[in-house]
Amino acid sequence: MKSNTVSLWAQEQIPEYQYLSSGLSGILAGQNSPVCPGVNADSYGQVEAAAALGLQAERIYFSGPKKQAEDILRAIGKCRFVADSWDELQRIDQMARLDAQERTLVPVGLRVIPEHYDDGNQPGLLEKELPDLAQKIKTLPAISVRGCFVQGRIGTLHGDALGRYFRECYELAKRITVILPCAMPYLCIVGGAEAAYKNAEDYPETLEAFLRQAKIVAAQNETAFYAKLLIT
């Protein structure tokens, strides 16, 4: 499967970034590895499948868009949510308040689109929306914003341009902690592994330029920010 190929390539070339398995097949394949860092679940069914295989809640990222209230309620305590919008944050908060078993704040990451990488067709919050969101989040008593998925238009990037994107994702994550403010236990660069693998296949002469910048980000993170670096 291509996802397994991408995962193995990423583990070898950029081991500082942990690959999240995606989809049911990815979840099943990931469980064959004792070092599986986690899964990127698109639906509650995938959350449930990962939990049934023994994956801990902090390693299951429920990032699928347009989550329904009933699925959110069933998933509480089994995963980390990733919200695409203010409406979704409100739904998660509402369900968290209904859940009688929940005694702590439900951790929710944000999907954020970098300013210069928006094509208008991607789910997520724009950075310019974050200051207003910071005030709204204060009205949600049952959730805590922790972490982010950064998603941008990167299909054509390679070499230095792709490396700069990794650096922009990192800098954006740092800005989010100041704007909201919030904790940043993880940063996931959505599509980063796929883009890097495509770089290696289609533009191998530029791969070293990308790897150099990606590793600079990882080195900076180890000395200052300490977020878990994830990629899909």
pLDDT at 103 over 80: no
User: Out of 32-36, 112-116, 224-228, which region has the weakest mean confidence (pLDDT)?
Assistant: 32-36
The radius of gyration of the chain's CA atoms, rounded to the nearest angstrom, is: 17
User: What per-residue confidence (pLDDT) applies to 148?
Assistant: 98
User: What per-residue confidence (pLDDT) applies to 23?
Assistant: 76
pLDDT digits (tens, 9 = 90+) for 88-100: 999 999 999 998 6
pLDDT bin (cut points 50, 70, 90) of residue 36 is low
Of 81, 124, 125, the residue nearest 99 (C-alpha): 81
Distance in angstroms (rounded) separating the CA atoms of residues 35 and 223: 24
Burial of 95 from C-beta contacts in 10 A (0-12 / 13-18 / 19+): buried
Distance in angstroms (rounded) separating the CA atoms of residues 21 and 41: 8
* Portion of the chain with pLDDT greater than 70, in percent: 94
DSSP classification of residue 80: E
pLDDT digits (tens, 9 = 90+) for 144-196: 999 999 999 999 999 999 999 999 999 999 999 999 999 999 999 999 999 99
User: What per-residue confidence (pLDDT) applies to 143?
Assistant: 96
Distance in angstroms (rounded) separating the CA atoms of residues 28 and 132: 40
Mean pLDDT of the region 49-77: 95
CB 196 within 8 A of CB 150: no
Distance in angstroms (rounded) separating the CA atoms of residues 117 and 122: 10
Please provide the average confidence, as pLDDT, over all residues in the chain: 93
Beta strands in 79-225 (DSSP E): 80-83, 106-113, 125-126, 143-150, 183-189
User: What per-residue confidence (pLDDT) applies to 31?
Assistant: 54
User: What per-residue confidence (pLDDT) applies to 3?
Assistant: 79
Topology, domain 2-231: TIM Barrel (3.20.20)
pLDDT digits (tens, 9 = 90+) for 205-226: 999 999 999 999 999 999 999 9
Q: Which two tokens stand for residue 68?
A: 């329904």
CA distances 30 to 6, 22, 60, 138, 232, Å, are: 12, 9, 12, 37, 13
